[in-house]
Amino acid sequence: MRACVVVALAVVSLAMQPGRRAISLVIIGGAVITEDARHSVVAPGAVAIDGTDIVEVGAPDAIAARYRASDTIDARDQIVLPGLINTHTHAPMVMYRGLADDLALMDWLQKYIFPAEAKTVSPEFVRIGTRLAALEMIESGTTTYADMYYFEEEIAKATRDAGLRGVLGQTIIQFPVADAKTPAEGLARAEAFIKAFKDDSLIVPAVAPHAMYTNDKATLVACAELAHRYGVPLITHLAETEDEIRIAREQHQATPTAYLESIGFWGAKTLAAHGVWVTDEDIAILKRRNVGVAHNPESNMKLASGAAPVKKYLAAGVALGLGTDGAASNNDQDMFEAMRQASFLAKHSEHDPTALPAQAALDMATIGGARALSMERTIGSLEPGKRADLIAVSVNASRQTPLYEPVSHLVYTTRGDDVRTTIVNGKVLMKERQVRTLDRAAVMADARRLAERVRAAVGR
């Protein structure tokens, strides 16, 4: 009895201890993988968060002695790590998941996806699709994503409401599409979108010319100038297939990368998705121009587009991130799978089991992705002063037992479903798999209803 009183008094005195800084949230983990420059792992570790920012990462005792948090998340049997960064997707395309599989890119795009989009894309389609994609991303540990699509302002609103961080590019393409009859209209849309969202704390607006083979020179140059004028990112698809290389060589006597260099397209904050078919000179251009590259191993394998030279990119020091691509060519948004497949594809294509080790794959999904998006000062690792974007992952499944090396488990055995908690900008979006910012049942019901209209429109 007496001992109990002493313990109770000790607890009270700790809580009342003067000098402890009041903060909003502490998350206590089994291991905290920081992804800082030294790849520090604190085990056991804790992350102190105040408002939108990480205040400190340290041992649980040290954090408890220094801070008094109004909310605590207990992740002691879990791994805490930076939220995953998906550097390439088309969020609303989750509505085309499984609609046209087992096709090569140009057939898939021109016979199925472009016609389906012409019949079904609307602000409502984009809103419902983005909410479904956001739900999947929150549930599988993605905290930031880069997007290219139509009606991007609707995507931005849905992303912000879900609490996710987004680098969102308004698509510009030469032929008439749902939100613009001409590229000039698309450019005007992009400018209005930039003005509406340029000061948002979660959304980075961007300009997204679809590709060099779907836009003429004047449009590509106008896109680059618009991005430059507002200091926002410029996002495009690059050198995805051998067909694209053939088109560029026939029309411009150059590779896609060299052609874009020749028209002054590459500038600050440029992100190129895929970069599968690049020469050594192309890689040198991308490095010199600081272009971030989004590697999409699953989409590239599914469409049989090829294997990007990941080893060469890393050796050259190119900022390399990882992406899922849209769900029509993947077919999910799970970044854990993207890490695993990136590693396997590199090993397989290089005939080298050391081509992309687990740590390098995790780097690409976190700090590497942040670099590719020119956001490494604010996200991508768990360090004081950065935004509090982090996840906690269960490692208790039979397939994760035993646990010798946390990074190995994250890349080679963990799935998106193992994520327990997702935090963005200091806000808890999911706790113990309960998503707080979206009504899960309503999001799924809306998507299923909309799918009936898609089915009718495309005759499936």
The answer to whether 227 and 198 have CB atoms below 8 angstroms apart is: no
> Helical H runs in 91-182?
105-107, 114-120, 123-139, 152-162
194-197 contacts at long range (C-beta below 8 A, 24 or more positions apart)? 194/226, 194/230, 194/232, 196/153, 196/156, 197/153, 197/156, 197/168
Residues between 79 and 98 with contacts to Zn ion, criterion CB under 5 A:
none
Question: C-beta of 285: minimal distance to Zn ion in Å?
Answer: 21
Question: C-beta of 206: minimal distance to Zn ion in Å?
Answer: 14
Question: C-beta of 185: minimal distance to Zn ion in Å?
Answer: 22
Question: C-beta of 120: minimal distance to Zn ion in Å?
Answer: 18
In the shown chain, the binding pattern of residues 314 to 353 toward Zn ion, with x for contact by CB under 5 A and - for none, equals -----------x----------------------------
Question: C-beta of 308: minimal distance to Zn ion in Å?
Answer: 13
The answer to whether 307 and 345 have CB atoms below 8 angstroms apart is: yes
Residues between 387 and 426 with contacts to Zn ion, criterion CB under 5 A:
none
CB of 325 or CB of 334, closer to Zn ion: 325
Question: C-beta of 82: minimal distance to Zn ion in Å?
Answer: 24
Residue nearest to Zn ion (CB): 325
CB of 159 or CB of 305, closer to Zn ion: 305
CB of 117 or CB of 325, closer to Zn ion: 325
CB of 83 or CB of 169, closer to Zn ion: 169
Question: C-beta of 299: minimal distance to Zn ion in Å?
Answer: 7
Contacts with Zn ion by CB under 5 A: the residue count is 1
Residues between 165 and 224 with contacts to Zn ion, criterion CB under 5 A:
none
Type and span of the H or E element at 183? helix 183-197
Strand segments, DSSP code E, in 247-333 are: 270-274, 292-295, 320-322
Question: C-beta of 273: minimal distance to Zn ion in Å?
Answer: 5
CB of 282 or CB of 325, closer to Zn ion: 325
Side-chain-side CA neighbours of 450 within 13 Å: the count stands at: 26
Nearest to 149 by CA among 200, 111, 185, 190: 190
CB of 153 or CB of 325, closer to Zn ion: 325
Distant-in-sequence, close-in-space partners of 85: CB < 8 Å, separation ≥ 6 = 142, 143, 144, 145, 321, 322, 335, 365, 366, 369, 370, 373, 379, 380
CB of 90 or CB of 387, closer to Zn ion: 90
Residues between 219 and 238 with contacts to Zn ion, criterion CB under 5 A:
none
Inter-CA distances, 75 with 23, 30, 388, Å: 18, 7, 16
Tokens for 256?
A: 């896609």
CB of 248 or CB of 429, closer to Zn ion: 248
Nearest to 277 by CA among 319, 315, 248: 248
Using the structure block, give the residue that is written with the tokens 């795009």.
109
Residues engaged in binding Zn ion (CB under 5 A): 325
